[in-house]
A and B are shown apart, each in its own frame.
Chain A
Amino acid sequence: MKCSDVSSLLVDFLYEEMPEAERRDFLAHVEDCPACSAEVKAMSSTLGHARAALRGPLDEAPPARVRARVLEAAQAAAAARAPDSAKPRVSRAPAPEGFFAHLWKTPWLVPALGAASVATAVFLVKVIKNPQVLPEQRSAVTGMPAQPAAAPRPETRREPTVASSGPTLGMQGLGIRAGESTAGIERRSHAGPKIAREAAAGKPGAAPPARDSLAMPKRLLDNEPLAGVAWEDQAQAPAGEVTAAKGGDRAIPPGHAFANAKAGHAPAPAMHAEKDGANLNDVSRSQSQPRKGLVAEGAGSSGRWAEPPPPLPAQAPIAAAPAPVASVAASAPAEPPPAKKAKAVATLEQRLDHVAGMPMASSAERAKSQPVRAAPSEYAVQAETPADKEMAKESKQALSFEERVRKAEKLFAEKKWAEAAAAFRALLAQAPADPAAKTWRERVASADLAQEQARAARAKKALSSDPLDGM
């Protein structure tokens, strides 16, 4: 063994990681070589001193506060990981994000939302069971009678007799004139539009709030046996119904439609108008009265609650409409602006005049082809005429144009130069004569300039950077 070997094997010797044979050779050389012997002794002494120090005075215990802090954090982390039931109340887990995080931070919202949900559920249940609720409430709030019928959806044009005609045209659009039998549904008079217009204008004596009413044969209201007509749903049949009449027209309970189904009959209590020309306000007020045949208070001169008439013999029941009125009324605005209201009336006239000349389908065909649909709101009607569509389109375009302007300004403020320049260019292309066009051109120029400067800066940075960076 050489001296260089001793130096390289010194660590193995000191830590006793040397094979026995090699160790003997190592010791033999060290005994014969004074230099290697001194080296080995010095290194062994150094290691001995270091070990003595590290395992003696330098062997310290860590500060106790470190453990206390760490254990506190460990406890908090464990509480956060534990299921909710196991969490200590003191250590609140981090709140979830989003809507529930907001709820977590504002706990008073929970009961408030709960109460609102319950109220909404109760209201919806009430509306479903009693479709008259909505017009009543609307009338009570606005002080106005329920609005006249809105025209049906476009698809109801195919069924003019169901949706668009009749003196007491409602939002359901299903009505029949006085004196008609169920067959009269198909043979409706064209005098309906006029009355509907009067109703829409809110004239006294016009048809009652038609959004939830159906024309009923006079003899039905007079408790005359009506062949083929009966209340299908006893539970849903209103105990008292408004019949604002003009020229013998009567309203049938809202939310019901005639159908040629076969079923039994049910009592159909109705509220009779005492005289023709019932005031719509009175009607709406009377509609808000309690049902089940109770005498209405404050029903005005238009009518009072009458005792439920005897059951009507019927060969064909009246199919209860699946509460479409309520659903429509819930989505309909309470009161349109006067201009829109007038437009709605005009639109309605136009439509009624249109459907007056259309062939009528049989009720059986209607029942097969399409269920009674809920009519849209007055606003939806307006948008269906070409003029209204154009107006709505213009309005939408104007709105979107403003939004685009705002978006472009926002992009410019956010220094998104390329997108901002493109947005302003698009605005200039669309409205070059706009008063703000000058500003937009300046914005485009500024954005382009900023883009150029950014590019130059990037190029300069790339050239000046060390190619060895990042290695």
Chain B
Amino acid sequence: MAAYQKGDVAAFGELMARHEKRLWNFLRRFVRDKATAEDLLQEVFLRVVKSAVQWQPSAKVSTWLFTIARNLCTDQARRAEFRQAESLDQANAGEEGSGLRRIDRVAANSGDAEKEAMGREIASLVDRAVGELPVEQREVFLMREVMDMSFAEIAAQVGASEPTVKSRMRYALQRLRSGLGELHEATARDAVSVEGTP
């Protein structure tokens, strides 16, 4: 960042390469919409470009980047709360209309040759379950699991106590468990059927 302050654009490219993937995955999981996540990622770095002159070497770039990203996500979540709920309902309706439950499709693809496809399906379930978490729980979960932040850092970032953050994390895991319940059931069923096979 200091090099970019002196006009080294390549240094900024390096900085971007170092942080963009984690930021992207955080944004991607947070807002779920790929186009919106792309806009937000671009906005994060553009804000850094605009404010590069004001950056002090004592400030941690990753923290700065994530603060911008989180603020953008929060604003986006407020704006899109209504639309997001509506789109999720439509997605669920479409799945129901397909005649196959998601877990059935996961089970149908559980053959040896379909492990990769199964992994994608599980990932899709996780993605949906994470996206359905309340914003406060979602941001804590993503900060910990995507951004690799400690609970202390998360607490400082969201302005809450560490026990509160851990409590949010526990609630997030409980919700994820509910969201992935079908997967657990299918896994257990598959295990039973495998055990019963002569």
Contacts and interface: CB of A to CB of B under 8 A. Distances in A.
A2 B9 CA distance: 58
Interface string B1-24: 000100111001100110011011
B7 to A, nearest CB: 5
Given A42-B177, A43-B174, A60-B28, A53 B9 contact: no
A63 interface: yes
B70 interface: no
A70 B170 CA distance: 37
Interface in B44-85: 45-46, 49-50, 52-53
Nearest to A65: B38
B25 interface: yes
A36 to B, nearest CB: 14
A69 B44 CA distance: 12
Q: In terms of DSSP, what is the predominant structure of the interface of chain B?
A: helix
A49 to B, nearest CB: 6
Nearest to A45: B184
Interface of A is mostly: helix
Contact of A50 (B20, B50, B145): B145
27 contacts: A11-B169, A11-B173, A15-B151, A43-B174, A46-B180, A46-B184, A47-B173, A49-B126, A50-B180, A52-B122, A53-B122, A54-B25, A56-B123, A57-B123, A60-B24, A61-B24, A62-B21, A62-B23, A62-B24, A62-B38, A66-B45, A67-B17, A70-B42, A74-B4, A75-B9, A77-B49, A77-B52
Interface stretch (A78-86, A230-238, A244-252): A78-86
Contact of B180 (A14, A49, A58, A77): A49
Contacts of A56: 119, 123
A208 B9 CA distance: 75
Contacts of B49: 70, 73-74, 77
A59 interface: yes
A interface, size bucket: 35 or more
A46 B176 contact: yes
A54 B126 contact: yes
B7 A50 contact: no
B177 A46 contact: yes
Nearest to A70: B45
B166 interface: yes
A78 B170 contact: no
Contacts of B167: 8, 11
